[in-house]
Structure 1
């Protein structure tokens, strides 16, 4: 609603907000639903909260948390290294490099991670020995696959190879977001391609790359629960489920694991937010004008 006033030959429009009762009604409904859910969680004895608090910081659960974090970090390191390599190869003028990168991304994005992990668990069966040498020539070394590959190494390598295919497309999108003029200007200054990529292109691409990589890291934290397919038995979800079956209390142990996932995810989101702010400096296009004024001025003098 608005009313007009004339002052010194200028018409002033004094606007007041229009009442919106629907907002308050929807807010009350959502608040009631949230309170009902919280009340159910707090009062339902089947959740066995006393068992949750008893096992939340137990050695079994904390060990699972530690190994889950280690798996996540190692998988993301392998995935990031592969992603940068494959993204650069896809931009290469060499058709063989482009084909290899495309085939890698096609295969690992096109098959389920669970299936890939099962195949990694079968590596010692498919290849009982690893031979190092020249094809159709002399053999330099021969290793037992079962002794070389542990379930832990198969877990983080399998996760890393799969993650690299997704991160490669994220990296490629970030590199394509940087104007080609940046390459041309740096090349005109005589800078080597490696320096151009490291000092000019990659820092600008990080503004586009960081948000999806943060999401992929959080997703990887939870994807580690699939390494039971190998089987790797020290991961958080597996140890919580196993201990819950031993105690005949699966729900409280899974709740304890879920609480740890929530805490770690919240920490990762906080870190991601700060990294985004760092690389987003100078690119914030939000309007900083003060929009809190409710008075508009309209000069209608001839």
Structure 2
């Protein structure tokens, strides 16, 4: 049978049948898109050698610049303003009159701080006592002296001899065993110390009471379970723990006490402020320098108390914190070490 020419042509022109794909054993060559770019053949640096860029905080830098500008303006105004008379300030700063007043301020502050703290402890114990009489009397004392201004207390004590010419100790409504003249005992410094101590004790009692209440109740229960005497529980267990919260609050009272001694000038005691005020009356042109002298001395005293507060808080914090807060010298050494380490890293990079 003969085949048609058209069929032969169509069969010859037909594409060959698809062959079965056989996996090739030859290694594949990398595609041009996946080839490494020239210059990208360097190995990455180790993580320790990479530089960490700090987070940028523009708002903080702007606020810092504004504060520095304001501080610079204030310092410039203080230094260049002739109204302050810094030459007269230098003249009066170490004058014997000012130093005598400073000594009286230190004496009154020391006596009042000790007596006020002791009185505050007694009043706080009275507030925590189970006796209703002690609680009532302690609460009344605290309420009274926290309500009356200190200047009123000082003026009242200064004129106390006008109300009671003599004081006596004996049986109430009965014979007196001891009688003495109040005006001989109530000198100016005694009036100042008594007035400041009475006022300080009222505030210190609340500081001490809050510190005692801050001690965990389990400490009281554990001490009672051991059968320890009450006095031993308070002096060896409760009060040392309460000091951690009493110290910063009482130091605030102590700083306020230093400033409150300026009021004893009104009971004829020439303390630091009284001496500056007295010299200002004698030399009216030096009032501003004398006030600056008193201000700077008060700043020095309160700063010294703040430094003492830091070390006292660090001492009483032993056993309560894992690491004690670093001292200023330790902070300086740590800062120098950080600067040296940063300089080494910069040099290595």
Q: Give per-residue Cα distances to partners, 1:208-248, cap 9 Å, x unaligned.
A: 0000111111110000001123232x210010111122122
In 1, distance between residues paired with 2:176 and 2:197?
29
2:223 is matched with 186
Residues 86-101 of structure 1 aligned to structure 2 (within 5 Å): 86-101=123-138
**Could you tell me which residue of structure 1 aligns to residue 188 of structure 2?**
151
2:169 alignment partner, SS class:
strand
What is the rounded CA distance, in whole Å, between the counterparts of 1:15 and 1:46 in structure 2? 52
**CA shift at 1:188, angstroms?**
2.5
Q: Say whether 1:196 aligns with 2:227.
A: no
- The answer to whether 1:170 aligns with 2:198 is no
> Are 1:220 and 2:253 an aligned pair?
no
Q: CA deviation at 1:65?
A: 0.8
1:68 counterpart (84, 105, 109): 105
**For the residues of structure 2 that align with 1:121 and 1:67, how far apart are their CA atoms?**
17
Contact 1:175 1:205 in 2 (8 A): yes
More contact order relative to length (CA 8 Å, sep ≥ 6):
1
Larger Rg: 2
- Secondary structure of the 1:140 match is strand
Task: Report the Cα distance in structure 1 between the residues aligned to 2:74 and 2:322, rounded to whole angstroms.
Answer: 39
Query: Structure 1: where are the runs of 5+ without partners?
Result: 1-6, 8-13, 289-302
**Out of 248, 260, 280, which is 1:244 matched to?**
280
CA deviations on 1:121-142 (whole Å, 9 max, x unpaired) are: 1101111111222122222232
Q: Out of 226, 236, 257, which is 2:294 matched to?
A: 257
**Which residue of 2 is the match for residue 46 of structure 1?**
83
Deviation sequence 1:10-67 (CA, Å, 0-9, x none): xxxx996543222111111111111111111111111111111111111111111111
Q: Distance in 2 between matches of 1:127 and 1:105?
A: 24
- SS of 2:168's partner is strand
Q: Is the 8 A contact 1:129 1:143 kept in 2?
A: yes
Structure 2 unaligned segments of length 5 or more: list them.
Answer: 1-43, 45-50, 326-349
Shift of 1:181: 2.1
Secondary structure of residue in 2 paired with 1:137:
coil
Give yes or no for contact 1:121–1:231 (8 Å, CA) kept in 2.
Answer: no
In 1, Cα distance between equivalents of 2:161 and 2:268: 13
Contact 1:79 1:167 in 2 (8 A): yes
Once residues 66 and 163 of structure 2 are traced to their aligned partners in structure 1, the CA distance between those partners, rounded to angstroms, is 58
* Alpha carbons 1:120, 1:230 under 8 Å: kept: no
The 2-side partners of 1:54 and 1:15 are apart by 55
Distance 1:158 1:40, change over 3 A: same
CA–CA distance in 2 between the matches of 1:268 and 1:24? 33
Higher strand share: 1
- RMSD, aligned CA: 2.0
